[in-house]
């Protein structure tokens, strides 16, 4: 009977291929959309938990897109007086504030880890992001030759990395935060200032803004749960020429944009799924009339009604399974391409779905389509069992 299933499918190549393609497209769209949504959702949640900054303060005058600063690893060599930190801590509603000092956007000619990464100095006394990783190592701060790598920076053998001509010991790899911290290399504040002081290209910056020891690049701020964040932002803007990035506002804007995009894509996906299911049902429904003579012949030469059911439902399962597997391959390609396109237009918190999630999603889609395919074939298989062989042999059809 298995041979008859394959012969039947190959005999109707065009019909079979059209249904396989329709199923594959439906599965691919649903897989891609679900994986992208899960990645963005996880990124939003993790970035909120692990970054812990409600407001990020950067020097005034920057025209950089806020999402690039929060989630894309981008920044510039612009600074503000370090006493800004003390003023921020005095604002009602601020529970904690910690500074970062930006050194360089690292490119392939100054280190060994590719591009789109940055080197940051941090303050161990007020930090709440890097500190937990040091506690695991029974350390309170980094030495001058030590570095902590963000989660999206490649790991290295022998726990060493060369940056700007100096070798550093890698003491830890931070977990993903879904933010720009994943693209950062953390060193002590003193080491960060030493690195920029040795950079001749930044000499004009220090002549204009002052020595590095008196400057910081950004301030991460925690706000009390009972405080009005708008009042805190107003207070920050009154202390000097600075720019505030409210993390919740940026994340809401990104979430809204993705929601609209995914709803549009989801609508297309849903229509594609419905079309493929309708095509599947219609094909096997018409089998009742199109293959009367074939089934009657099988019954006449000794096949049972169960054999007819096996052939019809077997065809549906093979088609559904083939279309689903092809759709998963296509969906994986669409997922990677879609993610690359979205990242080229805007930075956003994204943590790729786990292999377990993707495996569960894949098995669910395969199972749903196989079950629906079998159900679509049940009616024609039932009708086929009712065929009277003598009627088919004498009339060639039945009513």
Whether residue 367 is contained in a domain is answered as yes
Largest CA distance in the chain: 103
Per-residue confidence (pLDDT) for residue 291, from 0 to 100: 60
Whether the pLDDT of residue 238 is over 50: the answer is yes
Whether residue 300 is contained in a domain is answered as yes
Chain segment 318-340, per-residue pLDDT in tens? 888 999 999 999 999 999 988 88
For residues 83 and 213, state if they share a domain: yes
Location of structure tokens 């804007």: 253
For residues 22 and 91, state if they share a domain: no
For residues 27 and 97, state if they share a domain: no
For residues 276 and 300, state if they share a domain: yes
Whether residue 247 is contained in a domain is answered as no
* Separation between Cα atoms, residue 77 and residue 85, nearest integer Å: 18
Per-residue confidence (pLDDT) for residue 175, from 0 to 100: 76
Question: Are the beta carbons of 379 and 288 closer than 8 angstroms?
Answer: yes
Residues 6+ apart with CB under 8 A from 251: 44, 47, 48, 349
pTM of the entire predicted model: 0.66
For residues 219 and 271, state if they share a domain: no
**DSSP result, 367-381:** HHHHHHHHHHHHHHH
For residues 185 and 317, state if they share a domain: no
Element (H, E) at 120: strand 117-122
For residues 25 and 105, state if they share a domain: no
Per-residue confidence (pLDDT) for residue 197, from 0 to 100: 85
Least confident of 206-210, 230-234, 339-343: 339-343
Per-residue confidence (pLDDT) for residue 360, from 0 to 100: 95
Q: What is the mean pLDDT of the chain?
A: 78
The residue-averaged pLDDT of 95-100 equals: 91
* Separation between Cα atoms, residue 155 and residue 143, nearest integer Å: 20
Q: Using 50, 70 and 90 to split pLDDT, how confident is the model at 142? A: confident
The residue-averaged pLDDT of 167-186 equals: 80
Whether the pLDDT of residue 85 is over 90: the answer is yes
For residues 299 and 341, state if they share a domain: yes
Least confident of 79-83, 150-154, 215-219: 150-154
Per-residue confidence (pLDDT) for residue 116, from 0 to 100: 61
Residue 64 main-chain phi, psi, to 5 deg: -65, 140
Residues 6+ apart with CB under 8 A from 172: 133, 134, 136, 137, 148, 149
For residues 391 and 290, state if they share a domain: yes
Per-residue confidence (pLDDT) for residue 399, from 0 to 100: 44
Sheet holding 218-223, edge to edge: 160-163, 166-173, 146-149, 184-188, 117-122, 94-106, 218-223, 55-59, 242-246
* Separation between Cα atoms, residue 237 and residue 240, nearest integer Å: 6
Q: Is the dihedral of CA 114, 115, 116, 118 positive or negative?
A: positive
The residue-averaged pLDDT of 230-256 equals: 85
For residues 68 and 9, state if they share a domain: no
Whether the pLDDT of residue 274 is over 50: the answer is yes
Whether residue 20 is contained in a domain is answered as yes
Residue ranges making up the domain that contains 126: 62-240
Whether the pLDDT of residue 347 is over 70: the answer is no
Whether residue 181 is contained in a domain is answered as yes
- End position of a domain, from candidates 202, 218, 240: 240
For residues 76 and 178, state if they share a domain: yes
Whether the pLDDT of residue 157 is over 70: the answer is no
The total number of structural domains in the chain stands at 2
- End position of a domain, from candidates 213, 240, 267: 240
**DSSP result, 257-309:** HHHHHHHHHHHHHHHHHHHHHHHHHHHHHHHHHHTHHHHHHHHHTT--HHHHH
Whether the pLDDT of residue 113 is over 70: the answer is no
Higher pLDDT, 58 or 163: 58
Per-residue confidence (pLDDT) for residue 91, from 0 to 100: 94
Chain segment 69-83, per-residue pLDDT in tens? 665 555 677 889 999
Question: Are the beta carbons of 332 and 31 closer than 8 angstroms?
Answer: yes
Whether the pLDDT of residue 224 is over 70: the answer is yes
Least confident of 118-122, 239-243, 340-344, 358-362: 340-344
Whether the pLDDT of residue 47 is over 90: the answer is no
Whether residue 52 is contained in a domain is answered as no
For residues 288 and 174, state if they share a domain: no
Whether the pLDDT of residue 392 is over 70: the answer is no
Whether residue 56 is contained in a domain is answered as no
Least confident of 212-216, 266-270, 308-312: 308-312
Token pair recorded at residue 293? 């003579």
């Amino acid at each position: 009977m298995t041979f008859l299933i394959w012969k039947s499918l190959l005999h109707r190549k065009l019909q079979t291929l059209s249904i396989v393609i329709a199923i594959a497209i439906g599965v691919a769209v649903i897989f891609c959309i679900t994986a992208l949504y899960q990645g963005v959702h996880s990124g939003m949640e993790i970035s909120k938990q692990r970054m812990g900054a409600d407001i990020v303060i950067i020097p005034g005058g920057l025209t950089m897109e806020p999402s690039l600063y929060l989630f894309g690893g981008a920044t510039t060599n612009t600074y503000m007086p370090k006493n800004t930190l003390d003023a921020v801590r005095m604002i009602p509603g601020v529970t904690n504030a910690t500074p970062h000092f930006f050194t360089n956007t690292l490119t392939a000619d100054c280190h060994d880890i590719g591009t789109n990464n940055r080197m940051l100095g941090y303050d161990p006394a007020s930090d709440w992001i890097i500190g937990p990783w040091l506690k695991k190592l029974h350390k309170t701060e980094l030495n001058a030759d030590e570095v902590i790598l963000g989660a999206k920076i490649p790991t290295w053998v022998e726990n060493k990395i060369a940056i700007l001509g100096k070798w550093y010991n890698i003491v830890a790899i931070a977990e993903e935060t879904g933010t720009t911290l994943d693209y950062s290399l953390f060193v002590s504040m003193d080491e960060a200032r030493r690195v920029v002081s040795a950079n001749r290209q930044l000499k004009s910056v220090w002549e204009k803004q002052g020595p590095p020891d008196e400057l910081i690049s950004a301030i991460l701020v925690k706000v009390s749960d009972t405080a009005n964040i708008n009042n805190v932002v107003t207070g920050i803007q009154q202390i000097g020429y600075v720019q505030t990035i409210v993390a919740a506002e940026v994340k809401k804007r990104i979430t809204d944009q993705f929601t609209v995009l995914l709803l549009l894509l989801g609508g297309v996906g849903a229509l594609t799924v419905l079309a493929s299911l309708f095509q599947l049902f219609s094909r096997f429904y018409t089998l009742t009339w199109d293959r009367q003579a074939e089934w009657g012949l099988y019954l006449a030469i000794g096949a049972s009604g169960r054999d007819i059911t096996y052939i019809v439902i077997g065809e549906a399962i093979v088609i559904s399974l083939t279309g689903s597997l092809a759709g998963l391959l296509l969906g994986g390609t669409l997922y990677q391409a879609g993610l690359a396109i979205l990242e080229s237009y805007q930075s956003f918190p994204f943590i790729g779905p786990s292999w377990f999630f993707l495996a569960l999603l894949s098995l669910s889609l395969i199972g749903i389509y196989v079950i629906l395919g079998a159900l679509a074939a049940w009616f024609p298989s039932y009708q086929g069992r009712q065929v009277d062989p003598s009627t088919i042999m004498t009339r060639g059809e039945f009513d």
